[in-house]
Amino acid sequence: MSTRSSGLSGLTSARQVGRLAPVRRASTVDLIADRLREAVVDGSLPPGAALGEAELAFQLGVSRGPLREAMQRLTAEGLLVIPRRRGLAVRTMTPEDVRDIHWLRARIEPELGRRILARPLAERKTVLAELGTEVKRMQRALKKDDARALGDAYLDFHRGLAAWGGSIRLARMMATLLIETRLCTFSMYEHFEVAVDLVPEHAAFVDALAAEDAERFTALMRAHLDAEVRRLLSEPETAKEDDADRLLAETPDEPQPLDRLDLPEGI
């Protein structure tokens, strides 16, 4: 408060001086949720992984209370499933989920090019630079045959797209969808697989934006998402079938199609 009223000069209005970035202390729950999300993204909590909350809480150095709160948040995002009295588990994605997620992405992402191009020139330049950086990261990862790094750059590329092309709400939604996409990768393939096409596809995105060609961007994105679904579903037979997985995956004849999502009953 004291800082607020201390104007540097009589000319700057008090209002302007007051424009400070708000202090943003993340709550413990935020921290835990971030950490869990991170663990899901980088694979240290693979789909189907069942971990007791006491153990998890100990690892994170917090009590079970905040951990449970964070779990609820991730559950609402669809990343975790909480079967009653069976701890927490990372969601296992099914081929149906893959189609579903990509259908949603296909509604949103193709439009983002148009919205980015509608921004002022200075911002557009920033966006292009940022996206270009991610593409370079992807290239480097590809050379090193590092599928993990490639996936990370992929995530950041699309996150950037959503952040610049949309609102906070959209960015949040896309962030969740992207993590779910990553989960699809984990759920569908036993190991990561370097998709060679990915880099040129994304370079083309940047090109289209640089050329201010929204139509081309849209078409490219549609094609990319289609290709990704095909990539993911091309080997549906190799889906993991570990014991840990079975813990939550629906039984072969899926008796509880609704229960799996543990959805908040908002419907």
Partner DNA sequence: TATTGTAAGTTTGTCGACAATACGATGATC
Partner DNA sequence: GATCATCGTATTGTCGACAAACTTACAATA
Please report, as ranges, the residues that interact with DNA according to CB under 7 A: 1-2, 5, 27-29, 52-54, 62-66, 68, 82, 84-88
Q: Which amino acid is at 25?
A: R
Annotate 207-224 with DSSP letters as a single string: HHHHTT-HHHHHHHHHHH
| d(C-alpha 141, C-alpha 150), whole Å | 5
Residue 36: partners with Cβ closer than 8 Å, 6 or more residues away: 45, 70, 71, 74, 79, 80
Closest separation in Å from C-beta 231 to a copy of itself:
20
Smallest CA-to-CA distance from 57 within 86, 81, 29, 91 is with: 29
Residue with the two structure tokens 């964070």: 70
Residue 164 or 205 with smaller CB distance to a copy of itself: 164
Q: What span, in angstroms and rounded, lies between the C-alpha atoms of 173 and 111?
A: 15
Give the one residue of 57, 147, 171, 203 binding a copy of itself; rule: CB under 8 A: 171
Residue 261 interacts, among DNA, a copy of itself, none and using kind-specific CB cut-offs from 5 to 8 Å, with: a copy of itself
Tell me which stretch binds a copy of itself (CB under 8 A): 170-178, 209-217, 226-234, 240-248.
Answer: 170-178
Q: Which of 17, 46, 60, 69 binds a copy of itself (CB under 8 A)?
A: 69
Does residue 27 interact with a copy of itself by CB under 8 A? yes
Shortest Cβ 76–a copy of itself spacing (Å)? 4
Q: Which of 202, 159, 187, 183 is nearest to 245 (CA)?
A: 187
Residues forming the site for a copy of itself (CB under 8 A): 15, 18-22, 24-27, 29-30, 33-34, 37, 65, 68-70, 72-78, 82, 84, 96-97, 100-101, 103-104, 107-108, 111, 159, 162-163, 166-173, 175-176, 179, 253, 255-259, 261, 263-267
